[in-house]
Copies of this chain bind each other. A is one copy, B any other.
Amino acid sequence: MPSAIILLSGGLDSATCLAIAESDGFAPLYTMAFDYGQRHRQELIAAAGLAQRAGVAEHRVVTIDLRAFGGSALTADIDVPKDQINDASPPPQNNSTLPVTYVPARNTIFLSYTLAWAEVLGVSDVYIGVNALDYSGYPDCRPEFIEAFQQAARLGTRLTDFQIHAPLVHLTKAQIITRGTALGVDYAHTHSCYDPTSTGLACGHCDSCILRRRGFSEANVADPTLYVD
């Protein structure tokens, strides 16, 4: 069976991706997480736990210094916005207005490292949990970006069959939770909050918490997350 690498952030989406890759028949599985100076360090702890529970062949954490570039509430001293998500607004049609949680070129850098590891391992299949519906308007979560990066990767390496699987790209958060629950994902071991407490409780009010709460509610699945309120 062919191998696959899953980008594993420790969040709900990538945990579902890991289960989908396994269900798609890829084995052995490799997982990769990124320590990019994110304020929410619980992500990395959750990713390592998910990888271990899934019995992956190797979980690799790459340290990259995105803080050196600044410009995001996820890595710099900018306040994470609370209770501001706008239900009515569609994803922006251009890239001019982005939330402060956007990290410049983050998925491009993540996919580049994954590509390097894939080429060394000789693995042509990569899973990434990007989502173009319940997302915050990040341009590097759109399917057209993923497809363009895949093309660059095929031309720039020996992996001429390189394929990026983005199985969640057109799913709502509720559909993702429904799919993952059917595959046996225990979401208690995932972390979504952009601004957790020091003891790991989710704030309940950042964009990521709001989308997560609403997703469980709409999927009619009990939300195992520990929120502050």
Enumerate chain B residues within 8 angstroms of A119, measured Cβ to Cβ.
Answer: 71, 104-105
Name the prevailing secondary structure of the A interface residues: helix
* A109 and B109 contact, Cβ closer than 8 Å, known pairs A152-B149, A156-B139, A158-B95: yes
> Contact string, A150-166, partner B, CB cutoff 8 A, digits 1/0?
01110111111000000
**Whole-angstrom distance between the Cβ of A63 and the nearest chain B Cβ:** 7
Bound-state Cα–Cα, A124 to B122, Å? 34
Q: How many copies does the complex hold?
A: 2
> CA A120 – CA B68 in complex, angstroms?
10
Q: Give the distance in Å from the alpha carbon of A115 to the alpha carbon of B62 in the complex.
A: 19
Produce 1/0 per residue, A94-110, CB < 8 A to B. 11101000001111110
In the complex formed, the residue of B with least CB distance to A96 is: B158
Residues of chain B with a CB closer than 8 A to A109's CB: 109, 112-113, 116
A: residues with CB less than 8 A from B are: 60, 62-66, 68-71, 94-96, 98, 104-109, 111-113, 115-117, 119-120, 139-140, 142, 144-145, 148-149, 151-153, 155-160
Q: A95-B157, A139-B155, A145-B152 are in contact. List 11 more A-B contacts (CB 8 A).
A: A66-B116, A95-B159, A96-B158, A104-B119, A104-B120, A105-B119, A106-B116, A108-B115, A109-B109, A142-B155, A151-B152
Query: 26 A-B residue contacts at CB 8 Å?
Result: A60-B68, A62-B68, A66-B116, A69-B117, A70-B120, A71-B119, A95-B158, A96-B158, A104-B119, A105-B112, A105-B115, A105-B116, A105-B119, A105-B153, A105-B156, A107-B156, A108-B115, A108-B153, A108-B157, A112-B112, A139-B157, A140-B156, A140-B157, A142-B156, A148-B148, A152-B152
